[in-house]
Amino acid sequence: MDPSSALQELATRASRYSINLNGEISLIRSNAPLRGSTAIVHRGTLTRGGTEVAVKIFHGTPPGNIDPLKRILREVHLWSKLRHDNVVRMIGISTEFGSTISIVSDWMALGNSHSYIQNVENDPRPLLLDIASGLYYLHSHPLGPIFHGDLKGLNVLVSSDRRALLSDFGLSTLQKCTFSMTVLSPRGGSYPWMAPELLDNYNPSTEGDVWAFGMTVLELFTRTIPFPDCPRFENVIFRLITGKLPLRPSEESTLSRMTDEWWEICTACWILEPSLRPSTEEITEKVKGLHISTESSRTLVLPSPTPSPELPTEYERNDTTFTFEPSTYEPRSFRHPRPPPNNRQNTNETTLPHPESAISSCSDFPERPTSVDRSEESAASGQSNAEWRFVNAIRAAMMAQAATRPPMSPRRDSAWEAPQVTYTGRLQESGAPASRNAQISYYVEKLKQLNPIQELGAHQALVRHLQFSPNGRFLATSSWDATSIIFRVSQTGELSTHRVLVHVQGFIGQVAWSPNGKTLLTRLTRSVKVWNEGGQCKKTIERQSTVQSIVWLPNSEGFLSVEGSEVVKLDLTGKVLDTYCLGRVRLHDVAVTEDCTRLIGVGPSITSPDSSQPSCHTRIEKCLIVYNMQTKRKEIQAPFANDVWGIATARRASVVLISPEKSPPQLWKLEFVRDRDNNCYTSRLSLKHTYTRKAQFELAGPCYFGGRDDQFVLCAGKAGDVYIWDRDSGLLLRYIRPLTPNAFGDLTCMAWNCGTDETFTFATGGYDGAVRLWSTAVPPADETGSESSSFYDSHAEGDRVTTSSLQSG
């Protein structure tokens, strides 16, 4: 079909839903247009009446391709169904501006809400009530729920009377679609506002809009986009998939406007299970109550609203609404600058519980929020602040005294500041037996030989997880490019591609080799795939709930699927063998003892719907649980202070390695003692080591055991460095600096080859999709100058310099 004929036909169709304004619009060329990723918005006027309008001119389409025009027509059809005070009104369409359909809507003089609230005198709370009302209208539409699909501050416009109106419905979906043309359902959105389930090709939903509303609340209160510390969209996706949600912003960054009730709304919108999120009706009622309570205390005097001009009578017959996108920056660009210092939250600050509050070992009680008008709580707040200044002064004095104290006695079975072993004399200081010292000296010398020997551009996106097979013959990786790769490990230690495991859709969160090395599992959001070592998919096991983690049973008879508060035991055909319920806790990860009798799980507690909700000042308590799989009873439920990356058990040793997110890894000893009351054996946990250094660091992911007997503990820091400790003594045996000085956050995961101790080998994955191999084996000479040899030559000398500098210092 001729492009002009197709455009004319589609314009005729669009005229059924809206007014064709050809010849009725005059663009104001003196004003710079607003540019977005899909369209340019010009300011204009209607020739009859002089009404100011926004003309959204979509980018031109390739010759012969009418699909973009169909999508525009689909938008026009959907928006023609919308009539609400909090939805931008669509006036009509036009085909005069380029070979496309342009959408004409009301001009909003105050721009979008993100720009509007950059003026700190503009209170975002009235806007949020309007946004909630508009969203509730969409979700309760008479024709069926309409999903916005891309709610954020840029897509909410502010009228001259300072009302918020929803706009930009390019990704919106009508559940019961009445559009007759065949058009692909829109996909996309903006990652910082996107619900995690949408990353796995789930369709837009009301629950996804609720998640985005919570992020929009945070955006308007802080005047920055969500996840401002994530410079790349890969970082945002990583945070979403791992459930690392934004922390509560400081009072200073929100001008004390975000009260406990507002933060409760945010956290309720961010519940990972979509079905547990509140509805927009519930949110609207909650926000209305907050708006009424704060209306009387508002001190900002607004100017009198300017009445918007009326449309001529000939335009009144089409009382439709529409939207445009006055974007001031590219909506899918995530290289935003960091927020100013007064907008950042100091996540390193440790706060103490209020003296009069119920103390929990896993709770955090920051200062009391100040009310908006500072009238009713002024006396109490002043007293509270004075108490806190007193507490902080005591804490500062205690920290100063601790800094001047001599090191703790070596008789204690803990290593709060594990020194790096760089010479034999330091081993004598550790108080270990001579035979143990000799063994550690051997490990130190051998670990010094670790060098990068190979780098492979394995994936097109972030490497999420990798693991060597138990026999050391294969390395499996998983990536966000929807592929897993099985590499073969040669006798020299180098990698070569063995099989590429392609997944149709979804993110591959984990790979797991069976203890016998014959089967590989790959974990997706709600399914687990079973592969043999030859790369053949034997089974796809579908699950109804989100699979948080998978763990093989040590006897290879099946595996465990961590799903919320339950751990499901499955065989390789997908048959459910057993189910273990660990109570009101959302498990992040579990580990299994070697005799398959105990589960050790960790995760945040879940409050009962009938119980009173904790204050938002209180950090959600995490639990460390030991569960008896035979009696199906919890033997231990202990509080834990931090979010956790993962948990692992060692082979042939009753120890548990826990990887907190913002504190050093910990080794716990698991003992079995007789319960005299019940005449049976029960378990007992005790902290054995905390692996750390004087310089603070944060983990980039879970820690792992290394060595054939799991004698090492290794982890990657967020700075791109690698730490290797001796498991039993807690001594730091090797510290590897980042390969490049500015490679902050380059590492995402790592794995140790436990197949042999003759050669020490580990692999790392990065944000760039590369897999890097480190080994004590010297790579074979390659006269052709392969990728592996050139990488080794370029980095070996730099690492030797690093090692000597560590020895000297």
Quote the CA–CA distance of 655 and 664 in Å, as a whole number. 16
Contact present, 585 and 604 (Cβ < 8 Å): yes
Phi-psi label, residue 124: left if phi above 0, alpha if psi -120 to 50, beta otherwise: alpha
Give the CB-side neighbour count of residue 724, counting CA atoms within 13 A: 27
The two beta strands, 90-94 and 19-20, are parallel
Look up residue 198 and give its amino acid. Answer: L
- Structure token pair of residue 346: 């100091």
Q: How confident is the model at residue 261 (pLDDT cuts 50, 70, 90)?
A: confident
Quick: pLDDT tens for 145-154. Answer: 889 989 999 9
Residue 158 DSSP SS3 = strand
Give the CB-side neighbour count of residue 524, counting CA atoms within 13 A: 24
Is the pLDDT assigned to residue 458 strictly greater than 70?
Answer: yes
Instruction: Sketch out the chain's domains with CATH numbers.
Output: 1-107 (3.30.200.20), 123-166+175-293 (1.10.510.10), 450-607+621-775 (2.130.10.10)
Residue 562 DSSP SS3 = strand
Residue with the larger pLDDT of the pair 443 and 31: 443
- Label each residue of 303-371 as H, E or C: CCCCCCCCCCHHHCCCCCCCCCCCCCCCCCCCCCCCCCHHHCCCCCCCCCCCCCCCCCCCCCCCCCCCC
Mean pLDDT over 125-137 rounds to: 95
Which residue from 665, 668, 675 is spatially nearest to 697, judged by alpha carbons? 665
| pTM attached to this predicted model | 0.54
Quote the CA–CA distance of 219 and 254 in Å, as a whole number. 10
Q: How confident is the model at residue 136 (pLDDT cuts 50, 70, 90)?
A: very high
- Structure token pair of residue 725: 């400790």
Q: How confident is the model at residue 239 (pLDDT cuts 50, 70, 90)?
A: confident
Contact present, 712 and 733 (Cβ < 8 Å): yes
Q: How confident is the model at residue 764 (pLDDT cuts 50, 70, 90)?
A: very high
The reported pLDDT for the residue numbered 794 is 40
Quote the CA–CA distance of 252 and 231 in Å, as a whole number. 23
- Structure token pair of residue 83: 């009539």
Is the pLDDT assigned to residue 223 strictly greater than 90?
Answer: yes
- Structure token pair of residue 440: 């550690």
Whether the CA torsion 428, 429, 433, 437 is positive or negative: it is negative
Which residue from 623, 622, 625, 688 is spatially nearest to 654, judged by alpha carbons? 688
Quote the CA–CA distance of 343 and 115 in Å, as a whole number. 16
Is the pLDDT assigned to residue 171 strictly greater than 90?
Answer: no
Cross-strand pairs, 93: 20, 103
Q: What does each C-alpha distance from 200 to 237, 243, 510, 694 come to in angstroms? A: 11, 14, 15, 41
- Structure token pair of residue 150: 């891309």
Mean pLDDT over 393-414 rounds to: 45
The reported pLDDT for the residue numbered 663 is 83
Q: What does each C-alpha distance from 570 to 73, 336, 522, 551, 578 come to in angstroms? A: 49, 45, 14, 10, 7
Quote the CA–CA distance of 120 and 439 in Å, as a whole number. 63
On average, the pLDDT of the chain sits at 75
Mean pLDDT over 560-571 rounds to: 94
Mean pLDDT over 683-703 rounds to: 82
If you ran DSSP here, which 8-state letter would residue 275 be given? G
Is the pLDDT assigned to residue 141 strictly greater than 90?
Answer: no
Quote the CA–CA distance of 521 and 656 in Å, as a whole number. 23
- Structure token pair of residue 681: 């054996």
The two beta strands, 451-456 and 102-106, are unpaired
Quick: pLDDT tens for 715-745. Answer: 988 778 899 999 998 999 999 988 665 444 4
If you ran DSSP here, which 8-state letter would residue 505 be given? S
Quote the CA–CA distance of 551 and 535 in Å, as a whole number. 20
Which residue from 169, 203, 207 is spatially nearest to 80, judged by alpha carbons? 169
Which residue from 75, 69, 43 is spatially nearest to 56, judged by alpha carbons? 43
Quote the CA–CA distance of 230 and 253 in Å, as a whole number. 18
Is the pLDDT assigned to residue 226 strictly greater than 90?
Answer: yes
